Structure 1
Amino acid sequence: MMGARRIAGRILGLLPSISSQTYVKTSLFITIILLSISVRLNNLPLGYYLGEFDPWWHYRCAEYIMNNGIEGFLQWVDTMSWYPYGRNAAASTPIGLPLAAVALHSFLNVIGVSISLMDVTVLFPPFVSVIAVIAVFFIGRELSGSDWVGLLAMLFLATNGSFIDRSHLGFFKHECLGVPLIALSSYFYFKSVKARSIYEVYAYSLLSGLVLGYLCITWTAYVYMVGLIALFSTLLAPFVDRETINRLMVAYSITIGIAILIAIQLPRPGESAVYSVYYIAVLVGFIAIIAMNLLKRVERSLTLPLLIGFSALVLSTMILLINTNMFSSLMGKLLAVINPAARFEQPIVESVAEHKMGTWYYLFSDHGFLLILFAIGIVSSLLYGDTISRVFVISAGLSSLYFANMMVRIGLVFSPFSSLIAALGCSSLINYSYPIFSESVRLGRKVASTRRIGLWSLLLSTILVLYMGFHGINTGIGVYGFSRTGREGLSHMEGEGAASLPTSSLAIQYSFPDWIETVTWLRYCTPPGSVILSWWDYGYWITALGERPTLIDNATINSTQVATVGRILMSNDTIAIPLLKKYNISYIVIFSTLPGYWSVGLQGDESKWLWMAAIGYDLRPVNGSYDWIYRLDYTKGGYADINLTSKMQDVTLFSGYDLRYYPKNAAPLPRGDSVLTRLMVNAYLQALKEIITPRYSAYNIALNPLPKGIEISTSPFYELVFLSPSNGFVSVYKVNYNMSYEEETISLFSPEGIVSKNASSFYNMPLVSGVDMILEIEKLAMDEGEAQVDNASRILRANVSMVVKVNGEINKTYPVSLG
């Protein structure tokens, strides 16, 4: 018996021992990883779908690569998008994300895990995001020498609202892979600079270059990471010794060289990685490192003259290159980031929510009091720590904070660095406030005297850490009972519909299957090849799920074609029909929440038409705002129809509804003769008759009589062929070109016409085959009905005679108004 105990004791002695602290740290490490994944699966009850819009395009790219290989993708022109010209996929889409999904899919199937490509793309974001969470742990430990700082950084990033928003289930978009690559590249480059052995420098630089290179072919925000490496290296060079500068030169050369070599192999980014204005930062970094290396070799008395000479040479070279237009390809984008006000004049840019300028309000909403810890982390890094860590924290923290306020989408790069630096700040705060567990407080390399402040400081710090995690989760997914009110106060998943397709992109976490019904109908009930016109928001859904070609989609790569669609929807038949015929449009799809605006608000085309008008007619903001477009009635220079809007609100369906949430004319509709208004209002009336009234009548809910007096004809060119049966939010109209106006009903709709652009003497506008419509302007007078908007005249009165010729012979002449 005693022998058995001795043997068992010896066996146990051979097993590795784990301290309680290591056990706790390992448990927390695993727990935070599981937490990171679980909060990103929160939208699963809404449906197992790709989220938002862009992921559907990236899935199509991955599917094409799987079926045709990389070579096939590089030559692919997608004729289903941007009809009739198509879309060059490789030139407009970084290949990194779809290629990673295909590689993962192939690997899983090789090892026996049978899973579809769709499943891989849906599950990809929450699991790949773990890479970023793990990477910040190692960066935090490297900066502070403490595992606890790394664990805090993990917790803050895992629960960061902005990062959750871009890495939840189904969000198969560049950012879900781009942020982990940024975190990994930062870690490897930081390690390469701090390494003492030249072999470690080579190894970490090689890894950093490979990761950065893959980031270049994955996400356009690679320019930030390249700039960060250049900024960090430039700022570090003057403060380190010659040996460190030599390692820095090797690390910088290998990392940037490998990254650019990978980038130029593919059409996106291709040569722009070298010939863009962003490459200037790379050159400045090289010059700074070489200059500092040389300056440390010469006598101190010659340092200033050499520095002045180098500066003059660099400045002269930059001016020469800019004047020769060598760096002109992306100058506009760079200026838009540095000076966001420049984007106000571009309605197609302002119409995309993620391209808008970030604000401190949204920054604080996303990060909350994490910003306070971030500030403490910046200050503590300045006071304590080694030079390399100090420069890294300052350059990464302040640059990412700056870019977070320049553009909403770029603001995501702030998340890993804010979490990391906030962890440093939180650690410093806790150590300084409550050093009761140790005899001294370690801050960087310095040791402070013992202080015993009490349990209140520890309690305060604990509450602060827990609040950071709770705030991030509540911002990202919303916590029941704690969600904020109002659309701007909703969590990211609540406000943007994390699974956009089942919620029909509405900011309500509830199933609205209208778009699923619509794309299904388009796929099975329309002839193959039928060209669909809709606003760009829904293009990817129609193409990927409806399998029908569209004129525009969410890529907005052809601003001229986007403007054409906006002009079609915001014009009357005189302008719209020739354009529809030019592009061979078969169906028009309209998305409008008018049938349920009393419960879900106005979130469809009735709220997006401002941008249709602004882009379609190249309108400019007045006093920094486009509101004049829908605040001014069309008779006064705007594009709204205040009279029609008032009628619509007067005949609200529910009796006793006092319009508290939508006061009179708070959300006006465009003028009544526009294609959008006619199709939208007609679908609204049909939805009231066929869906809304029968539904609520069954529950004995008091209803007003069906509205009268706002009927708007869609004849003869548009026939309603589908109305989504669930709520009537989506309608499909078939365009009929084989129709003509009767003599008695020929009209340009406007009771008093307006001319907003210079008019020539004649307009030839063929509406249908065999019918030519010629408008001859007899007189223009600017003395009546003129409106001043930003000191510019928006109204011209025009007397017009319309001559209708059938088969070349004059049939009849009508006095009409031009509208």
Structure 2
Amino acid sequence: MSTAYPLPLDVPSSTVKNTASLLRIVALSLISGAAIASRLFAVVNFESIIHEFDPWFNYRATKVLAAKGFYEFWNWFDPTAWYPLGRVVGGTVYPGLMATSGVIYNFLHAINLPVDIRNVCVLLAPGFSALTAWATYMFTKEMKDESAGLLAAAFIGIVPGYISRSVAGSYDNEAIAIFLLMFTFFCWIKALKQGSALFGTVAAVFYFYMVAAWGGYVFITNMIPLHALVLILMGRFSDRLYVAYSSWYAIGTLASMQVPFVGFQPVSTSEHMGALGVFGLLQIVAFAQLVRTHVSSQQFQKLLQGGVVGIGFLGFFAFIFLTYKGKIAPWTGRFYSLWDTGYAKKYIPIIASVSEHQPTAWPSFFMDLQFLIFLFPAGVILCFRELRDEHLFVIIYAVMASYFAGVMVRLMLTLTPVVCVTSAVTLSTLLDTYIDPTEPTAPVDDTKSESDAVSVAGNGASTSAPAQQQSKKAKKAAYRALRRRSMSV
């Protein structure tokens, strides 16, 4: 491994590697501590309290879960919500946040640490911000190396765009969602690079956790299929892609349908149809690769052209027919407003009335991302230099997240991680370039070699010395004359 300065020759490589690993762990621990500490000012200065409306509702739901158990929470009817109608809470919320706090609360009590459920809820977001830093480190390490990963972890730990959603007392779904987002993407990249069904399954498990925690899981549902589709169109289909996507989609979709609030939406709504279509396309491409090994090239071309046209028309008309019959639900108002920014204002004013659903003002990008906004484009360009499969994922992620962050303030949260990743790649590349551990060799002085080559007289004295002295005197005289002329003018 490269170091910033030459090491003694008697130091074994294993010692260098172990020391570097220890320093990385120490650095990540310090970054995690900084991420947690920067979110505790409200608690330290005042008191441990839940703030904002949605966190208060989540806190009340978590108290029911901790006191009465998960089954009672699942069937809990809250008469104070949506008064006077009331609300069946279990089937109308994403339960991941409450379940996470309940598990932590029960675990602490099991090891005889009687912590109040309120303190668990208050400190959940700062705790998960440290986990987000670790997940971002692992994701960025797959893009470049460990140094870029450490920079990305440091950025995500202190960037305002993420701090605003993860301060102590902000007990909302986003408190755990960004960690799940980054770790799911990390598992997807690992599954794709290794062709591992194990990592594909782990990605599916964390995708299920994300579905249970936040409605923004639809971003993952469309990002991974879009990445797979672009790889196919670029001619990069491989067994690794087939294994990774098939294991993630099959297990992740079945698992996500176990969340009551989601139900059969993964197979019946428009925002999930892209993932299903790419899954079917992968099966067709894999079957075509199998047929290609058993028939001649001419026959394969004819079969491929006819099959693509036929299946394409069949799939398109089937989608139109099922949508017309109501079997596939159209885009909901909140998702449709991402494509038509004026839709909610005209037809669903209650969505437009929420400040988080308004288009993002330009100063918000600079306030939430600080100097990282200037490093962000350079990092995307650097990804084009190698353009491996994982770099293509970052490019697609950057483009899509930039658009969505521009049309809705709330989605600045999904842009922040990729900005930290690409900025870390940029800064790490600069450091690799300008802090080069190799020692440069001294340049050869051509003028000195020419003077050494001057012919020497028989008595050993240089014959060119008087000529050099005369030329110096002539230059000085010309300089004095030029100076007198300028002064007279």
* TM-score range relative to shorter protein: 0.7 to 0.9
Whichever structure has more strand as a proportion of its residues is 1
Q: Could you tell me how far 1:240 is from its partner in structure 2?
A: 5.4
User: In 2, Cα distance between the equivalents of 1:333 and 1:19?
Assistant: 50
The counterpart of 2:277, out of the listed 270, 284, 288, is: 284
Deviations 1:192-223 (A, max 9, x none): 11115xxxx12111111111001111100001
The counterpart of 1:226, out of the listed 221, 227, 232, is: 221
Q: Could you tell me how far 1:261 is from its partner in structure 2?
A: 2.2
Match of 1:70 in 2: 70
Task: Kindly indicate whether residue 355 of structure 2 is the aligned counterpart of residue 362 of structure 1.
Answer: no
- What SS does the corresponding residue of 2:102 show, helix, strand or coil? helix
Match of 2:165 in 1: 166
Matching residue's letter, 1:216: V
Task: Kindly indicate whether residue 261 of structure 2 is the aligned counterpart of residue 260 of structure 1.
Answer: no
- What SS does the corresponding residue of 1:392 show, helix, strand or coil? helix
User: In 2, Cα distance between the equivalents of 1:277 and 1:338?
Assistant: 13
- What SS does the corresponding residue of 2:91 show, helix, strand or coil? helix
Distance 1:377 1:304, change over 3 A: farther
- For structure 2, the 5+ residue unaligned runs are 1-11, 444-489
Match of 2:344 in 1: 343
Match of 1:202 in 2: 197
- For structure 1, the 5+ residue unaligned runs are 1-12, 441-449, 453-819
Distance 1:352 1:264, change over 3 A: same
Deviations 1:288-321 (A, max 9, x none): 3223334445347445554444432332222222
Distance 1:251 1:23, change over 3 A: closer
Q: Is the 8 A contact 2:228 2:245 kept in 1?
A: yes
User: In 1, Cα distance between the equivalents of 2:75 and 2:323?
Assistant: 33
User: In 2, Cα distance between the equivalents of 1:22 and 1:234?
Assistant: 37
Task: Kindly indicate whether residue 381 of structure 2 is the aligned counterpart of residue 379 of structure 1.
Answer: yes
Distance 1:74 1:27, change over 3 A: closer
The counterpart of 2:262, out of the listed 265, 269, 272, is: 269
Q: What are the within-5 Å matches in structure 2 for residues 495-534 of structure 1? A: none
Matching residue's letter, 1:429: L
Q: Is the 8 A contact 1:237 1:288 kept in 2?
A: no
Match of 1:191 in 2: 190
Distance 1:127 1:137, change over 3 A: same
* CA root-mean-square deviation: 2.5
- State the identity as a percent: 24
Task: Kindly indicate whether residue 332 of structure 2 is the aligned counterpart of residue 331 of structure 1.
Answer: yes
Match of 1:478 in 2: none
Matching residue's letter, 1:284: G
Whichever structure has more helix as a proportion of its residues is 2
Q: Could you tell me how far 1:405 is from its partner in structure 2?
A: 1.6
Deviations 1:409-465 (A, max 9, x none): 222111112211221222233334x1532479xxxxxxxxx9x9xxxxxxxxxxxxx
User: In 1, Cα distance between the equivalents of 2:392 and 2:84?
Assistant: 52
Please give the TM-score of this superposition, normalised by the length of structure 1. Answer: 0.49
Q: Is the 8 A contact 1:377 1:428 kept in 2?
A: no
User: In 2, Cα distance between the equivalents of 1:250 and 1:405?
Assistant: 35
Match of 1:320 in 2: 321
User: In 2, Cα distance between the equivalents of 1:87 and 1:412?
Assistant: 29
User: In 1, Cα distance between the equivalents of 2:305 and 2:379?
Assistant: 34
User: In 2, Cα distance between the equivalents of 1:51 and 1:438?
Assistant: 54
- What SS does the corresponding residue of 1:357 show, helix, strand or coil? coil
Match of 1:214 in 2: 209
Q: Is the 8 A contact 2:334 2:351 kept in 1?
A: no
Q: Is the 8 A contact 1:65 1:102 kept in 2?
A: yes
Q: Could you tell me how far 1:271 is from its partner in structure 2?
A: 2.2
- What SS does the corresponding residue of 1:278 show, helix, strand or coil? helix
User: In 2, Cα distance between the equivalents of 1:180 and 1:333?
Assistant: 23
Please give the TM-score of this superposition, normalised by the length of structure 2. Answer: 0.80
Q: Could you tell me how far 1:73 is from its partner in structure 2?
A: 1.9
Using CA pairs below 8 Å that are at least 6 residues apart, which structure has the higher relative contact order? 2
Q: Is the 8 A contact 2:323 2:330 kept in 1?
A: no
- What SS does the corresponding residue of 2:214 show, helix, strand or coil? coil
User: In 2, Cα distance between the equivalents of 1:384 and 1:18?
Assistant: 26
Match of 1:32 in 2: 31
Q: Could you tell me how far 1:371 is from its partner in structure 2?
A: 2.3
The number of equivalent residue pairs is 420
User: In 2, Cα distance between the equivalents of 1:239 and 1:311?
Assistant: 18
- What SS does the corresponding residue of 1:43 show, helix, strand or coil? helix
Q: Is the 8 A contact 2:249 2:279 kept in 1?
A: no
User: In 2, Cα distance between the equivalents of 1:164 and 1:414?
Assistant: 13
- What SS does the corresponding residue of 1:411 show, helix, strand or coil? helix
User: In 2, Cα distance between the equivalents of 1:315 and 1:435?
Assistant: 55
Distance 1:31 1:76, change over 3 A: same
Q: Could you tell me how far 1:372 is from its partner in structure 2?
A: 2.5
